[in-house]
């Protein structure tokens, strides 16, 4: 049985989630909390399969909470649910260990689909930056070269082409050529999806996390999740 806890400042949101999950045969609502500190207490008490975490507690506090909880309770999958969130926040949350970004306005089937997907180890972003089912394209006939894999790792860490060129002591134009080949081989559409692909590869290989180099998080600004 999949167990779910939730941390949200609004009691009505917690009750709504409880009602949704009570109708599910394979997912059980274990408990809710209205502060980040109480959320940690829930983790200690129940060690749930999934923790839903409200983004409205603030960009940096949420990212810090995820990073801390992953060290203490690595078996619990974290889902950030939000009405307002920026691209940078999405990436940083995934970078420190969240497995999903879920809209609070999502229909019930999508909420349940998301929870089941993260239990299976998928990254869920509701088709914002990755395919709807959380799966990335299968690399095509030609495998990635070691240099291309290095570049994907640096993209995942938030570096731009000029910074990648400096890190690898190559020309910026050479980086662009490598990027073109990477997109062609993987079938990935854009840089942000490539960064998520890199995270997925790192998670699959159980690699230790690199020092995050993504842009700094805004204090409390975001854009509506489409």
pLDDT band at 126 (very low <50, low <70, confident <90, very high): low
What is the Cα Rg of the chain in Å?
18
For the record, the structure tokens of 173 come out as 């134009």
Judgement on whether residues 126 and 150 belong to the same structural domain of the protein: no
Separation of alpha carbons 66 and 80, rounded Å: 9
pLDDT of residue 196: 80
Domain membership flag for residue 121: yes
Judgement on whether residues 107 and 192 belong to the same structural domain of the protein: no
5-62: pLDDT as tens digits: 999 999 999 999 999 999 999 999 999 999 999 999 999 999 999 999 999 999 999 9
Domain total of the chain: 2
Residue 223 has pLDDT above 90, yes or no: no
Q: What is the mean pLDDT of the chain?
A: 83
Judgement on whether residues 130 and 74 belong to the same structural domain of the protein: yes
The whole model's pTM is what?
0.68
**CATH number for 156:** 1.10.10.10
167 vs 213, higher pLDDT? 167
- Domain residue limits at 48: 2-136+216-224
The region that residue 47 occupies, defined by phi over 0 for left and psi between -120 and 50 for alpha, beta otherwise, is: left
Judgement on whether residues 68 and 105 belong to the same structural domain of the protein: yes
Among candidate residues 168, 143, 157, the one with its CA nearest the CA of residue 191 = 157
104-122: pLDDT as tens digits: 989 999 999 999 999 998 8
Judgement on whether residues 112 and 6 belong to the same structural domain of the protein: yes
Judgement on whether residues 108 and 153 belong to the same structural domain of the protein: no
Judgement on whether residues 120 and 180 belong to the same structural domain of the protein: no
């Amino acid at each position: 049985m999949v167990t779910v806890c939730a941390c949200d400042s609004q009691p009505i949101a917690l009750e709504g989630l409880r009602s949704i999950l009570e109708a599910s045969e394979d997912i059980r609502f274990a408990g809710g909390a209205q502060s980040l500190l109480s959320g940690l207490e829930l983790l200690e008490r129940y060690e749930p399969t999934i923790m839903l975490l409200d983004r409205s507690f603030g960009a940096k506090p949420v990212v810090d909470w995820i990073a801390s909880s992953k060290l203490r309770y690595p078996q619990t999958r974290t889902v950030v649910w939000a009405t307002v969130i920026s691209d940078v926040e999405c990436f940083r949350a995934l970078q420190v260990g969240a497995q999903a970004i879920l809209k609070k306005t999502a229909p019930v089937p999508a909420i349940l689909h998301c929870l089941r997907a993260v239990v299976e180890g998928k990254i869920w972003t509701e088709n914002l930056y990755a395919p709807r089912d959380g799966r990335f394209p299968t690399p095509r006939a030609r495998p990635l070269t070691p240099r291309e894999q290095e570049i994907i790792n640096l993209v995942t860490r938030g570096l731009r082409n000029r910074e990648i060129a400096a890190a690898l002591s190559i020309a910026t134009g050479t980086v662009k050529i490598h990027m073109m080949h990477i997109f062609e081989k993987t079938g990935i559409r854009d840089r942000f999806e490539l960064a998520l692909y890199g995270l997925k590869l790192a998670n699959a290989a159980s690699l230790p996390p690199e020092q995050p180099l993504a842009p700094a998080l805004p204090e409390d600004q975001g854009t509506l999740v489409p």
